[in-house]
């Protein structure tokens, strides 16, 4: 990662010294202790959830939330999984996020090709539009979208969610990608046009391959954002078979059947896929958050 690359030279003169000094310097100790306490505060709640998700209700009642489980108890998770048909929710979330990410990236590419490279007339106004579209709260779109999708027979259907998120997320994608494409090397475009490639071929053979890293970041963002969305799926996906993971878990909160261990079991299976994506996408994400800063 870039951190290592840029920091390495500055660090070498000190060499192994820090380790030897660590115990002697109280400031150092307090800084590290402070950071560790903060880390515990931030990660601790998730650990507590994980611990209690694999604890039997009997042990929970006996020794409370902080004891380590004496034996691993999977029934809470398994019961909850079967009761809400969690596999189906995972699939709904996965397929929605994947399709939105792919279509969102494609739509962003097309828009940014016209605005960033094509510099079509009125591009500033298009960019202002996409910026404002980015800012809009979903509340101001939700009722008409709800009404239209009912009229179109797409209410309680993943397709409605896919269409809406593809468009709203590509507003961000267009904005980011247009700034990247405005600085696209002209030589490459000229070379392609000398070779007789039209605009369509140039887009897919030259522009897209060259901008692959940025597109990877966009794909990751769109996937995770869609996975985490709650407001619109809550309103649009009302039947059990269509719910996504956050909606399924969110609406069960406060349900009578949800005791302490079942609740932590449900939270744990909500956390795990997110952690998995975090691990898979970590590099793209850290790079991408930085990319977001430059926009």
Partner 1 sequence: MAKNKGYAVYLIPGVLASLLVIIVPLIMTVYVSFTKWTGVGSPRWVGLDNYTRLFGDTLFWQSFSNIILLIIAMAVIPTLLGLVLAAVLFDYVAKHFSDRWAGFFRSGYYLPQVIPVAVTGIVWAWILHPSYGALNRILEAVGLGGLAKNWLGDPDYALYSVMAVMIWFQLGYPIVMFMSGLQRIDPSIYEAADLDGASWWQRFRKITVHMIRPEFYVVLITTTIAALKIFGQVFVLTRGGPSNSTLVPSYFAYKNFFEKAQVGYGSAISTVLTVLIIVLAFVFLRLQHRAEELS
List the interface residues with partner 1, window 101-130 (CB under 8 A).
107, 110-111, 113-115, 117-121, 126, 129
- Of 78-86, 177-185, 215-223, 248-256, which segment contacts partner 1 by CB under 8 A? 248-256
Q: Which of 124, 139, 209, 256 binds partner 1 (CB under 8 A)?
A: 139
Q: Which of 90, 184, 199, 210 binds partner 1 (CB under 8 A)?
A: 199
Site string for partner 1, 59-98 (x = CB under 8 A): -x---xxx--------------------------------
Instruction: Provide, rounded to whole angstroms, the least separation between the CB of residue 279 and partner 1.
Output: 10
Nearest to 163 by CA among 104, 240, 247: 104
Pick between residue 132 and residue 257 the one whose CB is nearest to partner 1: 132
Give the whole-angstrom CA distance, residue 146 versus residue 140. 11
Site string for partner 1, 159-178 (x = CB under 8 A): ----xx-xxx-xx--x----
Site for partner 1 in 21-40 (CB under 8 A): 22, 28, 31-32, 35, 38-39
- Of 68-76, 94-102, 210-218, 226-234, which segment contacts partner 1 by CB under 8 A? 226-234
DSSP characters for the chain?
Answer: -HHHHHHHHHHGGGTTHHHHHTTT-HHHHHHHHHHHHHHHHHHHHHHHHHHHHTS-HHHHHHH-SSSPPSS---HHHHHHHHHHTHHHHHHHHHHHHHHHHHHHHHHHHHHHIIIIIS--TTHHHHHHHHHHHHH--THHHHHHHHHHHHHTT-TT-HHHHHHHHHHHHHHHHHHHHHHHHHT--HHHHHHHHHTT--HHHHIIIIIHHHTHHHHHHHHHHHHHHHHH--HHHHHH--SGGG--HHHHHHHHTT-TT--HHHHHHHHHHHHHHHHHHHHHHHHHHHHHHHHHHH-
Q: Which of 33, 45, 58, 255 binds partner 1 (CB under 8 A)?
A: 45
228 binds partner 1, rule: CB under 8 A: yes
Give the whole-angstrom CA distance, residue 264 versus residue 259. 9
Give the whole-angstrom CA distance, residue 103 versus residue 114. 17
Q: Which of 15, 144, 196, 209 binds partner 1 (CB under 8 A)?
A: 144
Instruction: Provide, rounded to whole angstroms, the least separation between the CB of residue 38 and partner 1.
Output: 7
Q: Which of 74, 91, 143, 204 binds partner 1 (CB under 8 A)?
A: 143
Q: Which of 20, 41, 68, 72 binds partner 1 (CB under 8 A)?
A: 41
Q: Which of 33, 43, 95, 257 binds partner 1 (CB under 8 A)?
A: 43
Give the whole-angstrom CA distance, residue 215 versus residue 291. 11
Pick between residue 29 and residue 74 the one whose CB is nearest to partner 1: 29
Q: Which of 105, 227, 236, 237 binds partner 1 (CB under 8 A)?
A: 227
Q: Which of 235, 236, 237, 243 binds partner 1 (CB under 8 A)?
A: 235
């Amino acid at each position: 990662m870039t951190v290592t690359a840029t920091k390495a030279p500055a660090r070498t003169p000190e060499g192994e010294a820090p380790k030897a000094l660590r115990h002697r310097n109280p400031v150092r100790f307090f800084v590290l202790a402070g950071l560790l306490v903060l880390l515990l505060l931030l990660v601790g709640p998730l650990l507590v959830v994980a611990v209690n998700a694999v604890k039997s209700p009997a042990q929970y009642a006996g020794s409370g939330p902080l004891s380590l489980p004496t034996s691993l108890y999977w029934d809470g998770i398994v019961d909850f999984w079967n009761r809400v048909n969690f596999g189906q929710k995972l699939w709904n979330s996965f397929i929605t996020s994947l399709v939105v990410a792919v279509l969102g990236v494609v739509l962003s590419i097309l828009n940014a090709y016209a605005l960033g490279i094509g510099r079509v007339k009125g591009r500033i106004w298009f960019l202002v539009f996409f910026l404002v579209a980015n800012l809009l709260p979903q509340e101001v779109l939700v009722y008409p979208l709800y009404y239209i999708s009912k009229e179109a027979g797409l209410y309680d259907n993943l397709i409605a969610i896919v269409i809406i998120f593809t468009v709203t997320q590509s507003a961000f994608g267009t904005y980011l990608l247009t700034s990247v494409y405005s600085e696209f090397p002209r030589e490459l475009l000229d070379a392609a046009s000398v070779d007789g490639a039209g605009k369509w071929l140039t887009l897919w053979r030259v522009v897209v391959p060259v901008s692959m890293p940025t597109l990877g970041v966009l794909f990751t963002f769109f996937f995770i954002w869609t996975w985490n969305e709650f407001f619109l799926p809550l309103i649009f996906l009302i039947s059990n078979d269509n719910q996504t993971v956050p909606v399924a878990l969110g609406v069960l909160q406060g349900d009578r059947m949800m005791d302490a261990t079942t609740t932590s079991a449900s939270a744990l299976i909500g956390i795990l896929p997110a952690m998995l994506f975090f691990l898979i996408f970590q590099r793209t994400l850290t790079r991408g958050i930085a990319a977001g800063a430059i926009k």
